[in-house]
Structure 1
Amino acid sequence: MTEMMKVGLFGFGLATVLALALPANAEDYGPFKEMETSAGDVLVDAKGMTLYTFDKDEAGKSNCNGDCAKAWPPAMAMESDKPVGDLTIIKRDDGSLQWADDGKPLYTFVKDTKPGDVTGDNFKDVWHVVKE
């Protein structure tokens, strides 16, 4: 075996060992991420704003429209977005697309003013942060 072959095999073996030693990939949250907050680790949007679910929604259908959607803006999806993991995309009554977590539509809250705020958690006992 030539010295070059030994170096090549050593490099391949080292790469394999390093790959096995690396932690498993974190769960894929598509356009979202986890953030540590006062409510624990919650799902947030790209701006770090906490995502919520609404108990009055049905699986795959938002029941938060009009004034409700002004206070609780839907986490909007684009036509080019694709579901990933537990994150799905639903069609709202107006035809727009909204992200959902396992079929439950996702929203932000207008009273959350900075990344990591969780002021809407348990609001009227029907709004809840999304914990992953």
Structure 2
Amino acid sequence: MVDHAGMTLYTFDKDSGGKSMCNDECAKNWPPLMVKAGDMAEEGWTQIKRDDGSMQWAYKGKPVYTFIKDKKAGDMTGDGMKDVWHVIK
């Protein structure tokens, strides 16, 4: 799965209960896929509230992110990172 720009989307194993555990420095390296005003959820997608009050997309209950080291559409350099980051399948 990819975002609107074609960038690969990832999940983080430490997230649970529809809550993101990736904040501060983590979120700089793994930018959350943020909800824009007026965005509507489609099948499988939900919106979750982050610790800072902003809204992030989740797929099947798992918050989703991009990876700062992915430079172009189709890059998947974060897959398997530290055994806790995975491309959404």
Aligned length: 89
Q: Which runs of 5+ in 2 are unaligned?
A: none
For CA contacts below 8 A with separation 6 or more, give which structure has more relative contact order.
2
Across the aligned residues of Structure 1 and Structure 2, the Cα RMSD in angstroms comes to 0.7
User: What CA deviation, in whole Å up to 9, does each residue of 1:95-129 have, x standing for no partner?
Assistant: 10000001100000000000000000010000000
SS at structure 2 position matched to 1:100: strand
1:106 corresponds in structure 2 to 64
Cα distance in 1 for residues equivalent to 2:16 and 2:35: 18
Structure 1 stretches of 4+ with a deviation exceeding 6 A read none
Residue pair 1:54, 1:128 contacting (<8 A) in 2 also: yes
Normalising by structure 2, report the TM-score: 0.96
Q: How does 1:1-132 map to 2 (within 5 A)?
A: 43-131=1-89
Greater helix content:
1
Of all paired residues, the percent bearing the same amino acid is 64
- Tell me how far 1:70 sits from its aligned partner: 0.1
